């Protein structure tokens, strides 16, 4: 009998990644989409189009798992509120099921990234773990006693919206907060800090990129840093230390065995995680600081897609 196959969709603030995934977590087909400034109708259409594209190559799929950057009611599948996408008060599960004619399971994107890492990845065998997904924003997930913790109403785990600076910048998107960890250490922040460095150091590669009218993204900064560019490396050092400050509070609060860092920004690797670990070692309380491991996601920036597929294979249980 051939292995069961489902579709896993991971949606972030600016892009979508999906694929057909089997029980062995082999990804057979992938689809990518991006969105900037899309309205609700366009956003929902993009979800449908992405699913239909990969479904055309694998018509035997039995369900779809969606990880969306939203607070999700686990009982109804309603998207209650999203910081980066127009998905407030959307009956997402039922609407997608009706449009696709498939069983649909939906949860917060970072919860599902954590599910993948806890079941098959970097947090495997851990009973207590945290997930931070660094992308357009920062998604978070909490594993307590082997289960994803969703809180009283299903909306726990928004670790990116912990306030780390009461006088900090306004949080992007629709978050009413200021000085959130998302402002300090997201993938978007790496790009913004790269722009700042380019303005301050016009002779640097970052400065030359700005002068030529080019965009400075987190990905560009990371690529420069890996090539040994001093200004770009300094950006990752600074953002990494801010990430470490946020992790210090989380380690003190939760005493996890492991913190998994994923999302697109994990491509920075040790240039980001090394400074973060150093701050935790300096500032977190013993013995938690000595026991915790801070590691990159095993599935890289595909943790959310794999977790969405696992969620669908388990019939929405995780």
Q: Give tens-digit pLDDT for 12-39.
A: 988 999 999 999 999 999 999 988 778 9
What pLDDT was estimated at residue 173? 86
What pLDDT was estimated at residue 216? 96
**Token pair 């009982």 in the structure block, residue:** 75
What pLDDT was estimated at residue 38? 85
What pLDDT was estimated at residue 1? 66
CATH superfamily of 5-114+302-313: ATPase, nucleotide binding domain (3.30.420.40)
C-alpha angle with apex 79: 75 to 82, nearest 5 degrees?
140
Output b/e per residue, 5-26; b: 16+ Cβ within 10 A: bbbbbbbbbbbbbbbbbbeebe
Per residue in 278-304, pLDDT (tens digit) is 999 999 999 999 999 999 999 999 999
Within the chain, which residues score under 70 in pLDDT? 1
- 79: tokens are 């998207």
Residue 13 contacts residue 70 (beta carbons within 8 Å):
no
Q: pTM of the predicted model, to two decimals?
A: 0.95
Ranges for all domains in the chain classified under CATH 3.30.420.40: 5-114+302-313, 125-297
What pLDDT was estimated at residue 37? 78
Say yes or no: domain 125-297 is CATH 1.10.10.10: no
């Amino acid at each position: 009998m051939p292995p069961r196959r489902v579709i896993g969709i991971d949606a972030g603030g600016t892009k979508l990644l999906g694929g057909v995934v089997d029980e062995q977590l082999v990804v057979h087909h992938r689809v990518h989409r991006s969105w900037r400034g899309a309205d609700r109708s366009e956003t929902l259409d993009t979800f449908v189009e992405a699913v239909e594209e990969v479904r055309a190559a694998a018509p035997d799929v039995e369900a779809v798992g969606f990880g969306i950057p939203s607070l999700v009611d686990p009982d109804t599948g309603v998207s209650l509120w999203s910081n980066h996408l127009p998905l407030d008060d959307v009956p997402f599960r039922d609407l997608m099921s009706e449009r696709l004619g498939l069983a649909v399971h939906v949860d917060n994107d970072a919860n599902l990234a954590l599910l993948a890492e806890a079941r098959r990845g970097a947090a495997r065998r851990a009973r207590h773990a945290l997930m931070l997904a660094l992308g357009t924003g920062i998604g978070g997930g909490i594993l307590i006693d082997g289960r994803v913790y969703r809180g009283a109403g299903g909306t726990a785990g928004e670790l990116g919206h912990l306030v780390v600076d009461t006088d900090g910048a306004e949080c992007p998107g629709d978050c009413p907060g200021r000085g959130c960890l998302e402002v300090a250490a997201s993938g978007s922040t790496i790009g913004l800090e790269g722009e700042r460095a380019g303005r301050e150091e016009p002779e640097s590669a970052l400065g030359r990129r700005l002068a030529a009218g080019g965009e400075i993204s987190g990905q560009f900064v990371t690529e420069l840093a890996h090539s040994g560019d001093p200004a770009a490396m300094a950006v990752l050092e600074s953002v990494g230390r801010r990430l470490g400050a946020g992790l210090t509070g989380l380690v003190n609060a939760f005493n996890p065995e492991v913190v998994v860092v994923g999302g697109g920004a994990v491509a920075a690797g040790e240039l980001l995680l090394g400074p973060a670990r150093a701050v935790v070692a300096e500032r977190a309380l013993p013995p938690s600081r000595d026991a915790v491991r801070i590691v990159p996601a095993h599935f890289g920036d595909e943790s959310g897609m794999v977790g969405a597929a696992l969620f669908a294979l388990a019939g929405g249980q995780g």
